[in-house]
Structure 1
Amino acid sequence: MDEEKAKVCFVTTGATAPFTDLIKAVFKTEAVDALQKAGYTHMLVQYGTAKDVFEQSSLNALRHMDGNTPRKPIRIEGIDFKQGLKDEFKLARTSNGLVISHAGSGSILEALRYDVPLIVVPNDRLLHNHQAELAKAMAASNYLLEGNTDNLAPSIAYSESFKMKKAQFPPITSGKHRETEGLEAIMDAELGFQD
């Protein structure tokens, strides 16, 4: 991959439960069109145990890109689960790209650590839908964008202007700009972990 010319969207589905709906969502026509319109050249998808869903969904997306769009097709690659995704997060960051992730706390914190613009998609099939609560709280504080599997295109389109907001870190929260606090202290305060 020519990293100087690449703009990478990295998609991670998590390690504990297959999130096939997210894989299908990133390959929907509207999502692919939004990525192309934003200038993305590559999509790297961590598919985990859902390789068959990845292969079929990506094949459908490639057919759409080849036949129905004047833009250059996005190069699609997939990877299985692996420990640590620092190389993938760094690649998204250095290419002025984006991460689309399940709303698991580990993946969210990892992406934020690498200062990558992030769209999180809660897996509403999980018990108690705990990912939705975390995604809403983090999105309300402007740390990330919340997406859904029905239509990722609006979140993808908005992510380009969100990058500009993200450059003004730390985010403005509750009317008080806390410039002297680090990411960890701000997250603890926003999520209610401080006394």
Structure 2
Amino acid sequence: MADNWTWSEGSKMKVCFVTTGATAPFTELIRAVLQRSAIDALRDAAYTHLLVQYGVAKDVYDTFAIDARSHIQTQPEKGELIIEGMSFRPEGLMEQFRLVQQSNGLAISHAGSGSILEALRYGVPLIVVPNTALLDNHQEDLAVAMERSNYLIRGDVNDLAPAIRKAEDFRRKMAQFPPITSGKHRETKSFAAIMDETLGVLE
């Protein structure tokens, strides 16, 4: 069970954590990360654990997780990838993001500002997948703007594999974080300032 996952020095554990948000169900993201192409991309990058926060969509998670586990079993030479799911946690996701950080893993998230902020706090590679079905498509605008400024990778809900493959190169670039934007580089910067600068909001 995911609650028992622990990292220790020298461990080969490498965790990918997927969070879908606390309000509108994002079943397409659950489906996308459990597609065979995404599973293959994770295994090619030596991920050992995949944790999916399914929220209220446990039935969707269960359906696609069955096929993903079956696909893994047909290719044992690629290594084991343990897949687990979890509901929403009222205490927050600190434990999950810390495990990603410790294991040099990856976070995949919907494009909500709260989830983006939490991932950026832990300094982990982040793939953001906009939910284009939402009103005004604001998540797409945010994801595109922040990818352009090299804060994250924008993922496509129709095919996550290319974004997963970019994550290792992106990890190396993160040594420059926060990225140099608008000709200015500050050692520390509030998330509100990052948002304003990325989206072109002037003070």
TM range (shorter): over 0.9
- Paired residue for 2:148? 140
**1:41 maps to 2:48:** yes
Native 8 Å contact 1:45 1:77 kept in 2: yes
Which piece of structure 1 moves more, 1-10 or 33-42? 1-10
In structure 2, C-alpha distance between the alignment counterparts of 1:169 and 1:183, rounded to whole Å: 13
SS in 2 for 1:167: helix
**1:112 maps to 2:128:** no
In structure 2, C-alpha distance between the alignment counterparts of 1:110 and 1:190, rounded to whole Å: 17
**1:63 maps to 2:64:** no
**1:101 maps to 2:99:** no
In structure 2, C-alpha distance between the alignment counterparts of 1:187 and 1:178, rounded to whole Å: 14
In structure 1, C-alpha distance between the alignment counterparts of 2:18 and 2:158, rounded to whole Å: 16
SS in 2 for 1:100: strand
Runs ≥4 in structure 1, deviation > 4 angstroms?
none
Which piece of structure 1 moves more, 65-74 or 85-94? 65-74
CA deviation vs aligned residue, 1:145-165 (integer Å, no higher than 9, x gap): 000111100000010000001
Counterpart residue type for residue 123 of structure 1: N
TM-score by length of 1: 0.93
- The correspondence for 2:157, drawn from 139, 149, 152, is 149
Native 8 Å contact 2:129 2:155 kept in 1: yes
TM-score by length of 2: 0.90
In structure 2, C-alpha distance between the alignment counterparts of 1:106 and 1:28, rounded to whole Å: 26
CA deviation vs aligned residue, 1:116-143 (integer Å, no higher than 9, x gap): 1100000111111111011011111000
Native 8 Å contact 2:6 2:99 kept in 1: no
CA deviation vs aligned residue, 1:57-96 (integer Å, no higher than 9, x gap): 1110010110135211210111101131111111111100
SS in 1 for 2:196: helix
Counterpart residue type for residue 40 of structure 2: D
- Paired residue for 1:191? 199
Native 8 Å contact 1:170 1:183 kept in 2: no
Counterpart residue type for residue 43 of structure 1: L
Structure 1 segment 6-17 matched on structure 2, within 5 A: 6-17=13-24
> 1:193 deviation in Å?
4.5
In structure 1, C-alpha distance between the alignment counterparts of 2:128 and 2:194, rounded to whole Å: 19
**1:26 maps to 2:33:** yes
In structure 1, C-alpha distance between the alignment counterparts of 2:120 and 2:178, rounded to whole Å: 12
Native 8 Å contact 1:62 1:73 kept in 2: no
- CA RMSD, Structure 1 to Structure 2 (Å): 1.5
- Paired residue for 2:60? 53
> 1:56 deviation in Å?
1.1
Distance verdict in 2 for CA 1:170–1:29, change over 3 Å: same
> 1:9 deviation in Å?
0.1
> Which blocks of at least 5 consecutive residues in structure 2 are unaligned?
none
In structure 1, C-alpha distance between the alignment counterparts of 2:46 and 2:127, rounded to whole Å: 17
